[in-house]
Amino acid sequence: MNGAYNIPHSGARLVWVFDYDGHADTLDKVAPQAFAEALGLSTPPIEESVEWFDVDTLETYGLSRYLSEANGFDVGADAEKLDALSSGVVLIFSDGIAPEDTGFSPEAPFQLIGRYGMPIDLPPIVGIESDSAKGQLPQGKSPKSSARISGMVATFVLIFLAIFVAIFVWIGG
């Protein structure tokens, strides 16, 4: 795949998988801005939203299983393609991409393998605007009963009397 690839900022959790023609350890030495430019981004992705590693580190687990089971993405019919990768891969999660970036335009040594989302992309919940939701506020604590208040006052009086008696015993002793 070559060219520009759209980045939807819909709030859905997505991941872009890039093949990296090289050993993933070499990416540690690349400046964040140079990394972003090689992917066609104006702003580097947030560090916590980027993973890179060599596919062989997953051994028998496999990249498709890592994406689907460990991260919850639907890889669909791309499982074999993902598991056939043998070099470094870069995963960029949607929550780390700046809103001003609207597309990827990867340059060598990066190549986009695919974009994967959750099995069901639900739009983010903005708020409930129906008539039935109006006027419904969380209920506060119920008022204290008179029996509870009386018990609290009696406890306070008993503690005060115990301290008062202890002071007189101490002074008199």
Token output for 91: 């995963």
- Check: pTM over 0.85? Answer yes or no: no
pLDDT tens digits along 140-156: 777 888 898 999 999 99
CA-based torsion, 25, 69, 17, 94: positive or negative: negative
Contacts of 144 (CB under 8 A, 6+ apart): none
In the predicted structure, residue 2 carries a pLDDT above the cut 60: no
Using the structure block, give the residue that is written with the tokens 């993933």: 24
Cβ atoms of 27 and 90 closer than 8 Å: yes
pLDDT tens digits along 72-87: 999 999 999 999 998 8
The side-by-side arrangement of strands in the sheet containing 50-54 is: 50-54, 88-93, 14-20, 110-117
Nearest to 12 by CA among 111, 131, 98, 123: 123
CA 41/CA 126 separation, integer angstroms? 28
Would you place residue 138 in the very low, low, confident or very high pLDDT band (cuts 50, 70, 90)?
A: low
Q: How many CA atoms lie within 13 A of 56 on its CB side?
A: 6
Would you place residue 124 in the very low, low, confident or very high pLDDT band (cuts 50, 70, 90)?
A: low
- How confident is the model at residue 135, as a pLDDT? 64
pLDDT tens digits along 9-62: 888 889 999 999 888 888 888 899 999 999 999 999 999 999 999 998 887 889
Cβ atoms of 89 and 55 closer than 8 Å: yes
Nearest to 2 by CA among 116, 110, 75: 110
